[in-house]
Amino acid sequence: MRVLITRPREDAEETAAKLVACGHTALVAPLIELRFLDGPEISLEGIQAVLATSSNGVQALARRTKRRDVPLFAVGAQTARAARDAGFARVKSADGDARALAAATVEWAKPTAGGLLHAAGIETKGQLAESLSAQGFHIRTCELYDAVAVNTLPQEVLNALNAGALDAVLLFSPRSARIFSECVVKAGAAGRCRSLTALCISQAAANALSPLNFQAVRIARRPDQTALLAILG
């Protein structure tokens, strides 16, 4: 299949390699540009655990602290793998979304054992902290990166879309799905999506594709790359 990958470039290239190894053709068009935020070293004193809702947060945190001994609670397997690759020694995965991470954190940590640090992006703060604060935890949110949306799809992608040279698009988040929808509509190519299959990491991502119509919309059984690629077929 001819598959469009919409992740930030470094992640997209890793996904593309997996697709090519399986015999697919991959076209990379990042919809979000990651920008790590510079600043002083982050102190983890008094922090019982780090909360990571994306591999981007892990990478951003690793740039701002040398410590790897604090437990890290990851939203899912991919984020947990990124934490281990970065050298964090004690990593647990909630194998789900932010809601699953909040529920798991209540089981893994105690409000009286110290604060929790959320390694967040500018667009990803809020819900997790609110949920855990309601459980009595002290949450320290550190904005460590920004994810800037693109305004238009690359001409190469628009040419492929208009020529019917794409079979599927991979959408890894509600935000990327919304950006894809906006860019396609802006380019006047909404009708071309009727021949595409949208592969979405969650129902929320699928909902964000409105007002586009696709040949089919498939939703991963779990919110991770392995489950998403499994529905490619």
Query: Residue 127 pLDDT > 90, yes or no?
Result: no
pLDDT (tens digit, 9 = 90+) per residue, 213-230? 999 999 999 888 889 999
Q: What topology is assigned to 2-31+151-230 in CATH?
A: Rossmann fold (3.40.50)
Kindly report which listed range (33-37, 94-98, 183-187) carries the lowest average pLDDT score: 94-98
CATH architecture of 35-147: 3-Layer(aba) Sandwich (3.40)
Is 84 within 8 Å of 151 (Cβ atoms)? no
Residue spans of the domains in the chain: they are 2-31+151-230, 35-147
Band of the pLDDT at 125, cuts 50, 70, 90?
A: low
Beta strand ranges found along the chain (DSSP E): 2-5, 25-28, 32-36, 47-52, 72-74, 91-93, 115-121, 139-149, 168-171, 197-200, 216-219
Predicted local distance difference test score (pLDDT) of residue 200: 97
Predicted local distance difference test score (pLDDT) of residue 46: 96
Q: Which whole-number Å values give the CA distances from 172 to 129, 176, 213, 219, in the listed order?
A: 22, 7, 18, 10
Is 68 within 8 Å of 86 (Cβ atoms)? yes
Band of the pLDDT at 75, cuts 50, 70, 90?
A: very high
DSSP label at residue 219 = E
Predicted local distance difference test score (pLDDT) of residue 230: 94
Band of the pLDDT at 233, cuts 50, 70, 90?
A: confident
Neighbours of 108 (CB within 10 A): 14
pLDDT (tens digit, 9 = 90+) per residue, 142-163? 999 998 999 999 999 999 999 9
